[in-house]
């Protein structure tokens, strides 16, 4: 699927990207459904987000975060931002603005609604994790157009216009093809690290940044260094990469999933986080001629200490596949009706 550049044949309606708080449309789930994952439609049709209970795959709620007229697609992430033990849902507009919304998992209320780059169409790829080391879930946002990754403290997210406490440019200032992001504790220091991958046009590399909890009230007051660079393709591979991070092998450290299109086939590889030369899993899926990469999410859906791999379908299908750590298919389902042709994002 093409993310950074939408073809003329794709008709997008981006007029509804305002500050309206669009609520979810189904009933509020009970507290028993604390762990979730989300599936979002890609650009081209009315953008919809489905939220599923991790263990049973039950559909808990569905909503259109920017209204029925918006067709620009959203990135999604799930995690307990509010601290009540129930996963919340974060969406980032990929076209038309850089607006981010956070939906409370218990009440479906919008608890955060702001733009990361006000007045621009930078778009927002979102990821969640405690990168500040204060025990709260923070928000990491990569621009869909541009080169900047921003870090927002969890305690600041409910402010009207939160200010990022730090930012970085993983691929340098001249690069403007967008940055896909993930968060996970790769080195086992109990502080989440930041994983960055390029969009369409960028080199096939993934950069991992470790953060030091030296935070203050001044934006940028974070020490960070590059922990590793993972080469995931050849020098001519510039089709875009998706990333996610969680502990798949059960060693207490996050591993890194990479989704991309290789020679017309969707390819997903899971690298051992602290030793990226080790591949834990490689899977080949559907045929695809679309650039943009393969949406992936590592989530421990069954609570056994080993993350499952969620893979989103490419253009032409809303199929979602869930693989266990051995590569066996555990679930497969269509997130949207059969006539949906846009592909999906997962998180």
pLDDT of residue 223: 52
Nearest C-alpha neighbor of 145 from the set 181, 178, 107, 98 = 178
**Does domain 36-346 match CATH 3.20.20.80?**
no
Answer yes or no: is pLDDT of 97 > 90: yes
Answer yes or no: is pLDDT of 342 > 90: no
Tell me the two tokens of residue 327.
């590569």
Residue 311 contacts residue 323 (beta carbons within 8 Å): yes
| Range of lowest pLDDT (203-217, 228-242, 243-257, 296-310) | 203-217
Q: What's the rounded Cα separation, in Å, for the pair 248 and 32?
A: 24
Residue 210 contacts residue 225 (beta carbons within 8 Å): yes
pLDDT of residue 336: 95
Nearest C-alpha neighbor of 292 from the set 313, 309, 322 = 313
> At 11, is the pLDDT very low, low, confident or very high (cuts 50, 70, 90)?
very low
Beta strand segments in 54-148, E: 59-63, 74-79, 88-93, 99-103, 110-115, 125-129, 138-142
What predicted TM-score, i.e. pTM, was given to this entire model?
A: 0.88
From the centroid of its chain, how far is CA 45? Answer: 20
Over the stretch 60-85, which tens digit does the pLDDT of each residue have? 999 999 999 999 999 999 999 999 99
Answer yes or no: is pLDDT of 8 > 60: no
Over the stretch 233-257, which tens digit does the pLDDT of each residue have? 887 788 889 999 999 999 999 999 9
Residues 6 or more apart whose CB falls under 8 angstroms from that of 253 comprise 185, 186, 187, 188, 247, 273, 274
């Amino acid at each position: 699927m093409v993310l950074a550049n939408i073809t003329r044949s794709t008709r997008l309606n981006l007029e509804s990207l305002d500050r309206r708080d669009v609520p979810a449309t189904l009933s509020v789930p009970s507290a028993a459904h604390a762990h979730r994952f989300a599936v979002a439609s890609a650009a081209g049709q009315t953008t919809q987000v489905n939220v599923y209970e991790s263990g049973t795959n039950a559909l808990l709620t569905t909503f259109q975060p920017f209204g029925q007229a918006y067709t620009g697609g959203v990135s999604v992430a799930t995690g307990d931002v509010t601290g009540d033990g129930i996963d919340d849902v974060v969406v980032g507009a990929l076209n038309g603005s850089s607006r981010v919304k956070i939906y409370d998992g218990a009440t479906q209320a919008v608890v955060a609604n702001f733009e990361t780059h006000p007045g621009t169409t930078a778009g927002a790829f979102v990821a969640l994790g405690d990168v500040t080391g204060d025990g709260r879930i923070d928000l990491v946002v990569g621009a869909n157009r541009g080169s900047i990754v921003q870090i927002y403290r969890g305690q600041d997210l409910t402010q009207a216009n939160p200010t990022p406490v730090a930012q970085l440019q993983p691929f340098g200032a001249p690069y403007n093809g967008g940055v896909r992001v993930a968060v996970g504790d790769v080195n086992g220091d109990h502080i989440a690290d930041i994983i960055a991958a390029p969009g369409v046009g960028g080199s096939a590399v993934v950069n991992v940044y470790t953060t030091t909890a030296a935070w203050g009230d001044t934006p940028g007051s974070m020490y960070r260094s590059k922990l590793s660079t993972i080469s995931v393709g050849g020098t001519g591979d510039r089709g875009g990469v998706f990333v996610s991070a969680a502990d798949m092998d059960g060693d207490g450290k996050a591993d890194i999933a990479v989704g991309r299109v290789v020679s017309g086939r969707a390819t997903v590889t899971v690298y051992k986080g602290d030793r990226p030369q080790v591949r834990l899993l490689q899977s080949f899926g559907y045929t695809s001629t679309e650039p943009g990469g393969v949406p992936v999410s590592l989530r421990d859906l069954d609570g056994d200490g080993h993350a499952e791999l969620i893979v989103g379908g490419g253009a032409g299908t809303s199929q979602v596949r869930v693989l266990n750590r051995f590569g066996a298919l555990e679930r497969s389902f269509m997130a949207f009706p059969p006539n949906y042709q846009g592909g999906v994002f997962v998180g």
